[in-house]
Structure 1
Amino acid sequence: MTGNGCPADGIPVFSSIFAQDTIANSAYNSLQASLDKRFAHGLQFTFAYTFSKSFDEASSFEGILNPIDPRRSRSLSAFDARHRLVLSYYWELPTRKFSGATGKVLNGWAASGITTFQTGFPIRISTLDDQELMYSFDFELPGEPDLVAPFKTMRPQSNGLYYFDPSSFSEDNTFGLIGNSPRTICCGPHISQTDFAILKTFPISESKQVDFRAEFFNIFNHTQFFNPDGNFSDGPQFGQVNQVRDPRLVQFALKFKF
C-alpha cells in the first residue's frame, strides 16, 4: 500500500461507488375544461374534466432499468390519470320560510358534495431477480419480466383478489436480457367516490347562530382498491390487490358563531 492508502499501482480499491444523477425526462399533455355556476338562487357548482397523458423515465427517486440508456425506462408516469371528472356543488334547499318554532326546525337546510370519477393509475411492473445483470452497476435497479400474453384485468372480488392475470408474465432466465414488459402498464383500479354533507343553521339572534354539519365520505361505500402488487418476485401475490381505500366514514360537527 502507498502512503495515501492506495495499492502500489495507484488505483484505489472501493467496495462500491454510489452515484446520483438527474437524467430522467418527462412529458405531460392535457386538455382541461370546466363549467362554473356562480352562487345564485341558492345553488352553485363547478364541473371540471381533465384528459391527460404523462410519460417519464422515473416518476420519483428510483433506479432506472438501464443506466447506460435511460430511455429504456420511458413509460407512463406512475401518476398518469387519463380521465378525471370532478363535480362540486352547494345547494340551499328551496323550502318555504316558516316562522316560530317550525322555522327553527325546517329553515336553513343546505347540502354540499364532491363527486370524483377517475381512471386508474398505471401499475409498476418489476422483478427483484437479476437476470439482466443490472446489479453489476451496484445500484438498486429493478428488473422486468416478459409480457407473454395480452394484459387483461379481472374483477378481484370473484378472482381471488387478482386484478390482472399473472400468467401473462414470465421470466426469461437468459443472463443479461432485460424483459420486454414496460416499466408501467395501464391501468389500475378506477376511483369513483362521492363525499356528501348536510348542513343546518339554527339562528339564535341577529349576531349569533349554531351550525350543524353531518359529513359522509364515500357515502355509497364503494369498495375501491389501490393498485395491485406488480412485483413478479412476490410469487402468488403478484397481481393481487392487498389494500383498499377508506370505506364510508361519517363525522359530525357543531359550530357556534357570535
Structure 2
Amino acid sequence: MGPVFTLLTTLAAPFFQYTAINNPGAGTFFSGITNFPANKLRATYIEPNPKRNYVIQWNLNVQQELTPNLTGMVAYVGSRGVHQPFRVDDALMVLPTKTSAGYVWPFISDPADPNFGGPLDPFNTNYGSIRGLWYKGHSYFDALELQMVKRMSHGFQVQGAFTWGKSIDTSSATMAGDAFGNSISSLNWFDLRLGRGLSDFNIGRTLVVNGTWEVPSPKSLSGPAKWALDGWQLGLIFQANDGVPFTPTWGTGDDPANTSSNDDWAYPNRLGGSGCNTLTNPGNPAHYIKTECFSVPTAPNLAFWNQYCDPLPPTLGGTSVDPNSLLCFNLRGNVGRNILIGPGLTNVDFSVFKNNYIKRISENFNVQFRAEIFNILNHANFAPPTTPDNSDIFDSTGSVSDVAGLLSRTTTTAREVQFAVKIIW
C-alpha cells in the first residue's frame, strides 16, 4: 500500500496564522496581558518522495474438535509495518544536543542578556507552527490466541476467547498526533528510538466469555403454567482486559525543557528503589501513579551540570537552580513512551429473555420479552489519567502535582437496565 496524502484546507485567511506565549504571569489573562508575538503562518511539512509503506501479516492456527459439540483453537498472529506514517502536531522547535546523559536543549547562556536562561528561537522563525508528516515509522505485533467453543446442546452453549499480545510502534498517530486520548501529540521526531514503545491502543490481555442457557421446563405442564415456565433463556457476557498505556510527563504547556515548541512535552526521570518495580497504585483513583518513583531530570554529575544545564529556568520565575541539586530542567528525562499501564476493565452483562411462540399465526412467530442488564455488578472501570492534566507528575517548577495520577473518567457506564419487546417471524 502506498503513502496517503491529505489534500484538505479547513482554514481561510487570516485564520491559518498562529501565535503563542508561554508563562504570561499570574493575573495577566485578560487584563494586563503582555503583548503577544506577531502572528505567523502555520505550515505543513510532508516528506517528499517517501518510501513505500507496507504491512506484512502472518498467522498460524490449529483447530481440534474435542467432542462432537466442543472445538478448541490455538493461534499465533503477527504483523510488521514498515515506513508507516509518523505524524506530529508541531515539528517547529529548538533542536537539542545529544550527550552522554541524553538530549539537552540549549538556552541563552549570556549572563548579560536580559533573557538569560530562556529558550533559543526555533529553527525557522518565519512560521508559528509546522505540522510534520514523515513515512519512517515502524510497527510490530505478536499475539497468542486461544478459543474454546461449545455449540448448542442440551439447551446450553458457551464460547470463550483469550488473547495475549503486544503491539509496539514508534508512533500510533495517523491523521493527527493525538489520535487517542492517551497519545503524545508531538513525539520527538529527531530520534524515533525515543518514541518506540507500546502502541497507544495496546491491550496486553483480553478474556471474553459468553454463554446462553435455555432453561428447561417440565413437559407435563399445560395451560397457564406451561406459558409461565416455558421459553425462558438466560444469557451472559463476561469481559476482562488490561488497560491501555500512557506516558508520564511534567510541566506541559509551560515548556520547562526550553524546546520552544508550541506543543511542548517534557519527560521526567524514572527512579529505582523499593516499591518502584511497579509504577502504579491499582485501586487508588486519587493517586494512581506512584509519584515517588519519578523525579525532575538531573545531571549525572556537577561537571555535566556546569556544561549543559540551565541555571535559571524561566519557569522558576527568577529563582536559580542550586548546582548541588543537579536539577537539569532542559535535559530530557529517561522515561520511555507508554511505560505506565492504565486501569483494566472488568464487565458483566446479563440478559433474561422470555420467548412466547404463537403457533396460530405461524410456526416461527415469537413475541420475545427482553430484560438486559449492562454492567450488572455496577463495577467502576476507570480510564487512564487524562493526558496531560493528570499524567504530568510535576508542574513546571518541579513540584509534585496535586492531581498527578487522578482517575476522573470511566470507560463504561454505571449499571443500566433495559426492557424491550421483540417480534420475530
TM range (shorter): 0.7 to 0.9
Say yes or no: does 1:231 pair with 2:405: no
The CA distance in 2 between the partners of 1:224 and 1:106, in whole Å, is 36
Q: Residue 289 of structure 2 corresponds to which residue in structure 1?
A: 164
- AA aligned to 2:243 is G
Aligned to 2:280: 153
In the TM superposition, residue 75 of structure 1 has moved relative to its aligned partner by 1.1
- Return the alpha-carbon distance in structure 1 between the equivalents of residues 345 and 205 of structure 2: 10
1:205 pairs, out of 347, 355, 359, with 359
Which among 220, 223, 226 is matched to residue 100 of structure 1?
223
Q: CA deviation at 1:198?
A: 0.6
In the alignment of these two chains, the number of paired residues is 243
Moved over 4 A (4+): none
Equivalent pair of 2:279/2:340 in contact (CA under 8 Å): no
Q: Is the 8 A contact 1:146 1:171 kept in 2?
A: yes
Q: What is the deviation of 1:201?
A: 0.8
- The residue aligned with 2:98 is none
Contact 1:86 1:116 in 2 (8 A): yes
**Identity over aligned residues, as a percent?**
31
Residue 14 of structure 1 corresponds to which residue in structure 2?
126
Using the TM superposition, give the Cα deviation of residue 215 of structure 1 relative to its aligned residue in structure 2, in angstroms: 0.5
Identify the residue that residue 167 of structure 2 maps to in structure 1. 54
2:142 and 2:262 mapped to 1: Cα distance? Answer: 32
Task: Please name the residue that 2:407 is paired with.
Answer: 241
Greater mean deviation of Cα atoms: 220-229 or 99-108: 220-229
Q: Is the 8 A contact 2:188 2:195 kept in 1?
A: yes
Superposed, 1:113-128 pairs within 5 Å as 113-127=236-250, 128=252
With over 3 angstroms needed to count, the CA separation of the structure-2 counterparts of 1:190 and 1:90, relative to structure 1, is same
Q: Which residue of 2 aligns with 1:40?
A: 153
Separation in structure 2 between the aligned mates of residue 134 and residue 28 of structure 1, nearest angstrom: 32
Greater helix content? 1
Shift of 1:169: 2.0
Identify the range of structure 1 (16-25 vs 72-81) with the bigger mean alpha-carbon deviation: 16-25
2:421 is aligned to: 254
Contact kept? 1:125, 1:231, Cα under 8 Å: yes
Distance 1:34 1:131 in 2: 49
Q: Which letter maps to 2:268?
A: P
1:147 deviation in Å?
1.6
Q: 8 Å contact 1:131–1:177 — kept in the other structure? A: no
Query: CA 1:247 to 1:87, structure 2 compared with 1: closer, same or farther past 3 Å?
Result: same
Q: String of CA shifts for 1:19-49, please: whole Å, max 9, x gaps.
A: 3223322111100110111222212221101
SS in 2 for 1:71: helix
8 Å contact kept, 1:155–1:162: no
Question: Which residue of the other structure, out of 82, 99, 119, is the alignment partner of 2:204?
Answer: 82
Structure 1 Cα separation of the partners of residues 232 and 171 of structure 2: 49
Letter in 2 for 1:38: R
Give the letter aligned to residue 222 of structure 1. H
The equivalent of 1:217 in structure 2 is 374
Aligned twin of 1:196: 350
Matching residue of 1:29:
142
Q: Deviations over 1:55-81 (max 9, x none)?
A: 112223324432211121111112222
For 1:30 and 1:93, the matched residues in 2 are separated by: 37
TM-score (norm 2): 0.53
Give 1:142's match in structure 2, choosing from 250, 254, 265.
265
CA contact 2:270–2:293 (8 Å) conserved in 1: yes
User: Structure 2: which 5+ runs fail to align?
Assistant: 1-123, 178-184, 298-326, 396-400
Q: Distance in 2 between matches of 1:181 and 1:20?
A: 24
Gaps of 5+ in 1: 1-11
Alignment partner, residue 68 of structure 2: none
Question: Measured at CA, do residues 132 and 67 of structure 1 come closer, stay the same or move farther in structure 2, by a change above 3 Å?
Answer: farther
Q: AA paired with 1:24?
A: G
Distance 1:221 1:116 in 2: 14
Q: What is the alpha-carbon distance in structure 2 between the residues aligned to residue 48 and residue 163 of structure 1?
A: 29
Looking at structure 1, the residues matched to 330 and 125 of structure 2 have their Cα atoms a distance apart, in angstroms, of 26
Structure 1: how far apart are the matches of 2:171 and 2:267? Answer: 14
TM-score, length of structure 1 as denominator length:
0.85
